């Protein structure tokens, strides 16, 4: 949206103040308008939650939709296109109502596939009334939206399976803001000295430590290699399961848990590692691909990547900057880490360099914005008001 604004489009974002990944202002009332980077940013005060997979989060979704429905629309510009982004799929309903009100285009943007995510990874039954409702919403969106966009490259297969026929689906993956590279700063010397191993081959996970991050395989692997003093495992971040993992694995001599660092320090931490790790659970969700911010940060660091991932491959294989092992397969992960350990440093460096060059070339927001605009405003004529 910032890139849209830079190109001259009037861009409006309406979002919840329950966002745990943003710096959220204090709201004295139900709505607050800010202007940032050329964007009109409306915050909506909603019920807060701490655990991602919780009833309270679902209630926060409902609260946001109710507040959005009641929101005074007089201060909003008349949109030419509305993007309903599916972090909460319920937003589709407000999107349909706003399209009816303004006679504009509606784009249904899929960032999480609901209800597949909660039936595959959250333990919900497909017969759960909430799941049935989400499935109805999903079909409604795929049928009624003027365009469908996903962050994952193989979403079209899923849409076809839901509808029973193919429909055009655009892919606008997560990307990088190249202007933010200049904002990177080093971690404090005390943090470096306390948490970042020296003279070791460091295998690192940096990011959230929760149920969706599937770190058990990584930590079991650390335990299996605890006798190898040359290889050290590093977990950087916070999350619901950090305390549990520290209790279970904190005794390992080859494992360090380090605190979360600000985003502008992430690259400084990754630069001090040798191999970067990300993982997922075995789930049908990954059949449709991924474009996770974690993988983008990893590739940007210029380090090779190993992924415990069973699904539609993208990014890492396209850039030839790392390898995949089957999700949940500790033995395969262990063997691949040992293989990377034995590789000549120059070969690992070349692999990481390929990843950095690929991500800078293929995932910059200047290019992604142009791709998105061709979906928002098909044809040669482009309007100027975008609301998300």
What average pLDDT does this structure show over 266-287?
94
Looking at the DSSP bridge assignments, the partners of residue 306 are 277, 323
Tell me whether the CATH fold assigned to 2-175+364-387 matches the one assigned to 179-361: yes
> How does the average pLDDT of the chain come out, rounded?
92
- Where b means 16+ CB within 10 Å and e means fewer, 50-69 reads eeebeeebbebbebbbebbe
Q: Residue 266: count other Cβ atoms within 10 Å of its Cβ.
A: 22
Predicted confidence at residue 380, as pLDDT, reads 55
Predicted confidence at residue 210, as pLDDT, reads 87
- Per-residue tokens: 337: 């880490």
- Per-residue tokens: 148: 């469908």
Q: How confident is the model at residue 157 (pLDDT cuts 50, 70, 90)?
A: very high
Predicted confidence at residue 26, as pLDDT, reads 87
> Cα–Cα distance between 10 and 38 in angstroms, integer?
8
Helix axes of 155-163 and 129-144: crossing angle, nearest 10 degrees: 100
- DSSP-derived pairing of the beta strands 322-325 and 305-308: parallel
Q: How confident is the model at residue 381 (pLDDT cuts 50, 70, 90)?
A: low
Is 21's pLDDT higher than 80?
no
Predicted confidence at residue 387, as pLDDT, reads 64
**Closest Cα to residue 319, out of 338, 304, 301?**
304
Domain 2-175+364-387 has CATH 3.10.290.10: no
Looking at the DSSP bridge assignments, the partners of residue 107 are 83, 147
Is 150's pLDDT higher than 80?
yes
Q: What are the domain boundaries of the chain? A: 2-175+364-387, 179-361
Q: How confident is the model at residue 109 (pLDDT cuts 50, 70, 90)?
A: very high
Q: How confident is the model at residue 124 (pLDDT cuts 50, 70, 90)?
A: confident
Predicted confidence at residue 24, as pLDDT, reads 85
Q: What does the pLDDT look like over 199-253, one tens digit per residue?
A: 999 999 999 998 888 999 999 999 999 999 999 999 999 998 999 999 999 999 9
Is 273's pLDDT higher than 80?
yes
Is 383's pLDDT higher than 60?
no
179-361 CATH fold: Rossmann fold (3.40.50)
Q: What does the pLDDT look like over 32-47, one tens digit per residue?
A: 999 988 899 999 999 8
Would you say 292 and 270 are in contact if contact means Cβ atoms under 8 Å apart?
A: no
């Amino acid at each position: 949206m910032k890139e849209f604004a830079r190109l001259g489009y009037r861009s409006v974002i309406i979002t919840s103040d329950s966002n745990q990944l943003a710096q959220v202002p204090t709201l004295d009332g139900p709505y607050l308008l800010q202007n940032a980077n050329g964007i009109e940013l409306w915050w909506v005060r909603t019920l807060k939650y701490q655990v991602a997979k919780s009833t309270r989060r679902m209630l926060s979704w409902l609260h946001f939709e109710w507040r959005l429905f009641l929101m005074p629309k007089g201060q909003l510009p008349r949109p030419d296109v509305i993007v309903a982004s599916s972090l909460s799929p319920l937003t589709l309903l407000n999107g349909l109502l706003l399209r009816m009100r303004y006679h504009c285009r509606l784009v249904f943007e899929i960032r999480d596939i609901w209800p597949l995510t909660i039936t595959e990874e959250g333990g919900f039954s497909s017969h759960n009334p909430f799941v049935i409702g989400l499935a109805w919403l999903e079909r409604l969106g795929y049928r009624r939206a003027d365009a469908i966009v996903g962050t994952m490259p193989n979403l079209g297969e899923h849409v076809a399976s839901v509808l029973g026929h193919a429909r055009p689906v655009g892919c606008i993956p997560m990307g990088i803001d190249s202007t933010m590279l200049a904002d990177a700063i080093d971690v404090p010397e005390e943090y470096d000295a306390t948490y970042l191993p020296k003279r070791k081959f460091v295998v690192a996970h940096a990011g959230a430590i929760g149920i969706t991050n599937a770190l058990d395989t990584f930590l079991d692997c650390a335990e299996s290699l605890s006798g190898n003093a040359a290889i050290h495992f590093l977990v950087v971040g916070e999350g619901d399961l950090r305390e549990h993992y520290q209790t279970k694995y904190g005794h390992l001599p080859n494992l360090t848990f380090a605190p979360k660092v600000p985003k502008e320090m992430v690259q400084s931490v990754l630069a001090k590692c040798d191999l970067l790790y990300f993982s997922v659970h075995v789930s049908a969700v990954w059949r449709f691909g991924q474009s996770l911010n974690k993988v983008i940060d990893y590739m940007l660091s210029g380090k090779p990547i190993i992924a415990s991932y069973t699904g539609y491959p993208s990014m890492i294989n396209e850039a030839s900057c790392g390898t995949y092992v089957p999700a949940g397969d500790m033995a395969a992960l262990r063997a691949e880490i040992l293989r990377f350990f034995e590789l000549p440093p120059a070969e690992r460096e070349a692999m990481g360099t390929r990843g950095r060059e690929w991500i800078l070339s293929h995932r910059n927001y200047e290019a992604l914005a142009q791709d998105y605009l061709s979906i928002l405003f098909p044809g040669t004529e482009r309007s100027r008001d975008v609301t998300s």
